[in-house]
């Protein structure tokens, strides 16, 4: 039985415990907000999202980013198939689910179902969260969230939060990215 404890070790352990607790609580607080926008269409049901939207985005050497399909699939299995001439058809299946279908001439259509909830005029998709914690050695936490709303001109507005942080030994790192994009509705 050990009765002699080094006060310096106890202070270090206490400090590490407090630091780890603060890091965990800070990461849990990151969440996508539903701001009150003046250009937002006030909707009563999820079926207001039904329609065909353009899949335009930013092209870079390493692929297509900011396309509607890229963002919709980022909370599930990421699919980098993003032809700029493709369209995305959204269809409300019920009060908590939307089907998104990617279609491009000469290609096989792809569909995903996005679960979430209709809240304050937004469809807030269920977030994708993951954690790899090994206390005091390594840790990584990842949070991906998207929400959809409609602008007054019926264009689709997409907000995304990508929150990722972690530590190696005692070093902390953080990377937060928020994006907002509009996609023009081109048909019913």
Each residue's pLDDT tens digit, 102-146 = 998 878 889 999 999 998 889 999 988 888 887 777 888 888 899
CA angle 139, 175, 38 (to 5 degrees): 135
How high is the mean pLDDT of the chain?
A: 79
Is residue 71 within 8 A of residue 148, CB to CB? The reply is no
User: Which pLDDT belongs to residue 129?
Assistant: 85
- For the segment 148-173, the average pLDDT, to the nearest whole number, is 84
The helix/strand/coil state of 76 is coil
pLDDT digit string (tens) for 4-18?
566 666 676 776 666
pLDDT of residue 78: 61
Lowest pLDDT segment from 76-90, 98-112, 133-147, 170-184: 76-90
Query: What predicted TM-score, i.e. pTM, was given to this entire model?
Result: 0.69
Query: pLDDT tens, 17-39?
Result: 665 665 555 545 456 677 777 78
| Cα–Cα distance, 86 to 82 (Å, whole number) | 7
To the nearest 5 percent, what fractions of the chain are helix, strand and coil? 15, 50, 35
């Amino acid at each position: 039985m050990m009765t002699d404890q080094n006060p310096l070790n106890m202070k270090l352990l206490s400090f590490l415990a407090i630091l780890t607790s603060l890091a965990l609580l800070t990461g849990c607080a990151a969440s996508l907000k539903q701001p009150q926008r003046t250009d937002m269409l006030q909707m009563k049901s999820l079926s207001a999202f039904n329609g065909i939207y353009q899949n335009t985005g930013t092209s870079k050497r390493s692929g297509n980013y900011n396309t509607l399909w890229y963002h919709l699939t980022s909370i599930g299995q990421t699919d980098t198939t993003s032809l700029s001439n493709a369209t995305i058809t959204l269809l409300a299946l019920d009060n908590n689910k939307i089907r998104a279908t990617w279609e491009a001439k000469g290609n096989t259509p792809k569909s995903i179902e996005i679960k979430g909830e209709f809240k304050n005029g937004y469809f807030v998709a269920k977030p994708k969260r993951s954690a790899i914690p090994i206390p005091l050695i390594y840790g990584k936490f990842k949070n991906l969230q998207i929400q959809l709303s409609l602008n007054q001109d019926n264009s689709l507005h997409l907000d995304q939060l990508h929150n990722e942080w972690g530590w190696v030994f005692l070093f902390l790192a953080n990377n937060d990215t928020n994006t907002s994009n509009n996609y023009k509705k081109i048909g019913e």
